[in-house]
């Protein structure tokens, strides 16, 4: 079982995430490449929440293929193209993450390969063998 590491000796997280997640020995790790908000039909919905749902949906399919679920996520790196996308991303991310929440980083970037994309999400998942 993974363990959240959030010491009381430092400032608590700004949102629903852990400062760190410990993965004990005997766990398999899956490293997912960054997923963009695009469906299998090449449709890119407008808005950060819709794109974030697709990102986590894609991640869910990847993890399922590896014998895992979204509940096995221990680390998230996410990128949005503007500050105004942060709240919508975090709200939607929280719909897909379990407790204790994974370690997480959110960065604002200049853009992605296509200007329609406003968010990209990559994760690390861990599950006991």
For 43-66, write each residue's pLDDT tens digit: 999 999 999 999 999 999 999 999
Inter-residue contact 24 to 92 (CB < 8 Å) = no
Paired tokens of 48: 């950060």
**Whether the predicted pLDDT of 34 surpasses 90:** yes
CA atoms 87, 90, 91, 92: torsion sign:
positive
pTM over 0.85: yes
Calculate the alpha carbon distances from 72 to 10, 20, 125 in Å: 26, 14, 5
């Amino acid at each position: 079982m993974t363990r959240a590491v959030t010491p009381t000796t430092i400032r608590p997280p700004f949102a629903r995430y852990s400062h760190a997640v410990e993965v004990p020995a005997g766990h398999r790790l899956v490293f997912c490449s960054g997923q963009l908000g695009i469906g299998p039909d090449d449709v890119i919905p407008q808005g950060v929440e819709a794109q974030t749902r697709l990102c986590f949906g894609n991640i869910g399919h990847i993890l399922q293929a590896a014998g895992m679920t979204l509940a096995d996520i221990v680390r998230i790196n996410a990128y949005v193209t503007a500050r105004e996308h942060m709240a919508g991303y975090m709200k939607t991310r929280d719909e897909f993450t379990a407790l204790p929440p994974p370690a997480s980083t959110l960065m604002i970037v200049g853009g992605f390969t296509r200007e329609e994309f406003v968010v990209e999400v990559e994760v690390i998942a861990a599950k006991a063998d």
